[in-house]
């Protein structure tokens, strides 16, 4: 089997991309300068998940461009939040109800998709998505991340749960990694609540309602997220990380392996690492040759690592930074199938390639997709989202992911 595929497209980067890269780097350096000037007491345990410089897209619980979205703040002790992307294919299978919830004075009206109770619903796999931004920027509700997640939801026919993890330096390591794992555990809790709701509502499957079902209605059913309860299939869960989000995804995958059946009914069946934000103390060939590459050059990324990693334990061979340090647990042979996407003009590419090779040596299905003339975040950066190469990358990801999320008898070949 050919594990490494070099994908060609129209010549990139173009002059426009090169010029925008200069402007982008200026913005990054200006933001990093401001962040480094923050006093120590500005550190906030509650954290933030977005910066005011980030353009955000409002959620829309009605189906817009084939996808409905909603935002949920899932942790009362931090700013951790999620955005759910639900594709309109659930409507084609299951008739919807549009709810209008009016307050007593008639001032508030809510309209959006709500699954009908007591009917059969189409179940979709769940993709946990972790955005990029070098741990210090980006957000799950940014315009670019919203557009990318909509694309993935439509192409893969999945529910995408985009994680709004806490940003550094307000919340240094391990905050973002803990947030990723917390969302996976939240997904398991929601799935179990949904199952309890079915059991309490229908008795022992004979269609009759239990006499004490009102107790659950009051204390449990109202807690279950309705879109995920009706349409989510957590036994087909995929992790998808973009840039620094890929580091988080890989960490969550490792923790899922260690947890095993404790996460039931959630099962991580695959992960996708898009141009991972890996680094190490011993520079690779690409880290030397492409150190001043487009958008995220090495000097800028070094500053972000200094803002993210613990100050007293700064080490480029930290487990959050270097996936190839010896002694990491669990052994690679237990990792889920892993698709790695790299860009030819990305200085971080060599370490991602090396990690993919190590996974294959451990007999893991770990194909590598390398895109010629592409730059870091070529498929997710706002200015590049509509390019043919970005669209092709999302389609390539969908083809591979469907091999692991398709129901038995409907598998895709790859």
Average pLDDT, rounded, for the chain: 86
Out of 131, 231, 318, 376, which one is annotated catalytic?
A: 376
- Could you tell me if residue 1 is inside a domain? no
CATH number of 173's domain: 3.40.50.1820
Which residue in the block uniquely carries the two structure tokens 């090495």?
A: 298
Q: What is the pTM of this model?
A: 0.89
Residue-wise pLDDT for 226-284, tens only, equals 999 999 999 999 999 999 999 999 999 999 999 999 999 999 999 999 999 999 999 99
Q: Could you tell me which residues come within 8 angstroms of residue 285 by beta carbon, excluding any fewer than 6 positions away? A: 350
| Active-site annotation holds for 356 | no
* Statement: residue 134 has pLDDT above 80: yes
Q: For the chain, what is the domain count?
A: 1
The CA distance from 41 to 136, in Å, is 17
C-beta of residue 355 within 8 angstroms of C-beta of residue 340: yes
C-beta of residue 81 within 8 angstroms of C-beta of residue 72: yes
| Active-site annotation holds for 214 | no
pLDDT band at 5 (very low <50, low <70, confident <90, very high): low
pLDDT band at 222 (very low <50, low <70, confident <90, very high): low
| Active-site annotation holds for 79 | no
* C-alpha triplet 167, 236, 264: angle, nearest 5°: 80
Nearest to 372 by CA among 4, 11, 21: 11
Provide the CB-side half-sphere exposure for 290 (13 A, CA): 22
What is the largest distance, in Å, between two alpha-carbon atoms of the chain?
Answer: 70
- Could you tell me if residue 33 is inside a domain? yes
Residue-wise pLDDT for 249-265, tens only, equals 999 999 999 999 999 99
Q: What is the domain range of residue 266?
A: 15-39+57-90+119-201+212-405
Out of 141, 178, 179, 346, which one is annotated catalytic?
A: 346
- Could you tell me if residue 352 is inside a domain? yes
Out of 50, 139, 142, 243, which one is annotated catalytic?
A: 243
- Could you tell me if residue 207 is inside a domain? no
- Could you tell me if residue 27 is inside a domain? yes
What average pLDDT does the segment 206-231 reach?
Answer: 63
């Amino acid at each position: 089997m050919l594990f490494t595929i070099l994908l060609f497209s129209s010549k990139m980067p173009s002059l426009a991309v090169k010029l925008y890269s200069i402007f982008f780097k200026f913005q990054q350096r200006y933001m990093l300068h401001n962040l480094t000037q923050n006093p120590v007491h500005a550190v906030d345990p509650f954290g933030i998940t977005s910066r005011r410089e980030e353009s955000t897209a409002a959620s829309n619980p009605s189906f817009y461009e084939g996808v409905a979205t909603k935002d949920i703040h899932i942790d009362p002790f931090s700013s951790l939040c999620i955005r759910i992307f639900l594709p309109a294919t659930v409507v084609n299978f299951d008739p919807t109800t549009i709810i209008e919830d009016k307050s007593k004075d008639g001032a508030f009206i809510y309209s959006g998709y709500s699954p009908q109770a007591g009917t059969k619903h189409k179940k979709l796999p769940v993709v946990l998505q972790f955005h990029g931004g070098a741990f210090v920027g980006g957000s799950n509700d940014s315009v670019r991340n919203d557009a990318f997640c909509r694309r993935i939801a439509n192409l893969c026919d999945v529910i995408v749960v985009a994680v709004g993890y806490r940003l550094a330096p307000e919340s240094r390591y391990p905050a973002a990694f803990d947030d990723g794992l917390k969302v996976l555990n939240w997904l398991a809790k929601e799935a179990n609540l949904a199952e309890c709701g079915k059991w309490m509502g229908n008795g022992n499957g004979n269609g009759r309602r239990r006499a004490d079902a009102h107790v659950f209605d009051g204390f449990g059913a109202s807690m279950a997220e309705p879109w995920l309860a009706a349409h989510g299939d957590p036994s087909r869960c995929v992790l998808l990380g973009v840039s620094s989000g890929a580091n988080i995804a890989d960490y969550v995958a490792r923790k899922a392996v260690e947890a095993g059946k404790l996460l039931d009914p959630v099962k991580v069946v695959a992960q996708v690492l898009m141009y991972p934000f890996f680094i190490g103390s011993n520079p690779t060939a690409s880290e030397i040759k492409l150190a001043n590459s487009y958008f995220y050059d090495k000097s800028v990324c070094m500053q972000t690592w200094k803002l993210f990693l613990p100050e007293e334990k700064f080490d480029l061979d930290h487990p959050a930074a270097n996936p190839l340090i010896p002694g990491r647990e669990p052994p690679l042979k237990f990792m889920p199938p892993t698709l790695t996407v790299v860009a030819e003009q990305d200085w971080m590419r060599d370490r991602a390639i090396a990690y993919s090779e190590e996974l294959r040596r451990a007999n893991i299905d770990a194909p590598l997709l390398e895109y010629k003339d592409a730059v870091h975040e070529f498929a997710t950066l706002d200015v590049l989202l509509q390019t043919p190469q970005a669209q092709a990358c999302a389609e390539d990801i969908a083809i591979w992911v469907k091999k692991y999320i398709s129901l038995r008898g409907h598998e895709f070949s790859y």
